[in-house]
Amino acid sequence: MHHKTFVAAAVGLGLVTLSACGSSGDKAADTKTVTVVSHDSWAASKSVIADFEKRSGYQVRILKDGDAGQAVNKAILTKDNPQGDVFFGVDNTLLSRALDNGLFQSYEPKDSGMVVSRYRVDQARHRVTPVDTGDICVNYDKKYFADRKLAPPASFDDLLKPQYKNLLVTEDAATSSPGLGFLLGTAAKYGDAGWQAYWKKLKDNGVKVVDGWEQAYNQEFSGSAGGKKAKGDRPLVVSYASSPPAEVVYADPKPKTAPTGVVDGTCFRQVEYAGLLSNARNTKGGKAFLDFLISEKFQEDMPLNMFVYPVRETAAVPAVFVKYGPQAKDPQTMAPGKIAANRDQWVKTWSSLVAK
């Protein structure tokens, strides 16, 4: 399933226990093995990984460690005796937590000059490398709106209108990466003073909040083809701009058009990073793997595996991905420093406003 399918970030609210420690295993000490710690949505073509192994002489071991936020928190708890050499999957909403806790050591990969400059952060110390980008946006069920001759919403403001009452499901900002991204999008749009009033109105208009993406998209959303359970009855869901191409790629037979669309005026730009873990056993192998993550071969492999856009300027993107999942034209963004200063307090305030 597509990138961050199971991402429900446990955003630093004590949801990770210390029992995670001490599970490094002896394999990590093997300098012929590079251990990559990631979230559950890591995916790459076997042939691309095999090519790296052949050229570098390292065996790649992927350790999927839960949802994005949980994986970050566990990595922080185990940083003195890390589970691996490289961590992939910390995004701009959680980046400051990783950096403030000394999770990564400095390394500037070869070809990092090929990465789109606006995604490069921490330029003084190079503790993290941008790997991919995507947009968190409201998705809509095309059939639902067509059947009712109702235009889908086009913006954050539209979601407050009476014709969309009880239609939207979103994820908990305290436990979910897209939920947090959507909250940050509203904070970027309405400012420090305005976002709380917006959420009060959204609550009055019947927004439903669930724990994570999997539940929101595959159980509550009426437009998902991926859910094994009975489809939900909500035709609006907070998901990704890349969800429509995933619906097309995974469908059998493939539809001529995606059954879902994206509300372009509700998008928040997410960037994911990787870094060399402090106290990594195999720093040489870890550095080689970071070089590989921004190589053209890996960057061009990502769109149809993790359903994200590459950050390398020269990487080609498959036509089906561009057709059904174009990047938002004018997404909301927020400087990492502003996220760092406000995130935890905003999540607390949001939780008290929109508590289930």
Cα–Cα nearest to 255, from 223, 222, 207, 296: 223
Contacts of 353 (CB under 8 A, 6+ apart): 196, 199, 200, 203
Q: Which amino acid would we find at residue 248?
A: V
- How buried is residue 41: exposed, middle or buried, by Cβ count under 10 Å (0-12/13-18/19+)? buried
> Of 123, 109, 120, which is closest to residue 283 (Cα–Cα)?
109
The rounded distance, in Å, linking the Cα atoms of 132 and 106 is: 19
> DSSP string spanning 136-193?
EEEEEEHHHHHHTT-PPP-BTGGGGSGGGTT-EEEE-TTT-HHHHHHHHHHHHHHHHH
271: tokens are: 């960037």
Residue 230: predicted pLDDT:
56
The DSSP code for 96 is H
d(CA 243, CA 253): 17
Q: How far apart are CA 136 and CA 148, in angstroms?
A: 26
For the chain, give the number of residues.
356
Q: Provide the b/e sequence for 225-263 (b: ≥16 CB within 10 Å).
A: bbbeeeebebbbbbbbbbbbbbbbbeeeeeeeebebbbb
Q: Three-state SS for 34?
A: strand
Specify the pLDDT at position 86: 98
Question: What is the rounded CA–CA span in Å between residue 222 and residue 24?
Answer: 42
C-alpha span between 278 and 68 (Å, rounded) = 19
Query: In the chain, what are the domains?
Result: 18-134+270-324 (3.40.190.10), 135-268+330-354 (3.40.190.10)
Specify the amino acid at residue 56: S
Backbone angles phi, psi at 303, to 5 degrees: -55, -45
- The pLDDT score that the predictor gives to residue 30 is 59
State both tokens at 111.
Answer: 């070809």
Nearest to 240 by CA among 303, 196, 151: 303
pTM (two decimals): 0.84
| pLDDT tens-digit profile, the chain (356 residues) | 334 432 322 233 222 222 233 333 444 455 899 999 998 889 999 999 999 999 999 999 999 987 777 788 899 999 999 999 999 999 999 899 999 999 999 999 999 999 999 999 999 999 999 999 999 999 999 999 999 999 999 999 999 999 999 999 999 998 888 999 999 999 999 999 899 999 999 999 999 999 888 899 999 999 987 545 557 999 999 999 999 999 998 888 888 889 999 999 999 999 999 999 999 999 999 999 999 999 999 999 999 999 999 999 999 999 989 998 888 999 999 988 899 999 999 999 999 999 75
pLDDT of residue 229: 52
pLDDT at 73: 87
Q: Is 116 exposed, middle or buried (0-12, 13-18, 19+ CB in 10 A)?
A: middle
The reported pLDDT for the residue numbered 139 is 98
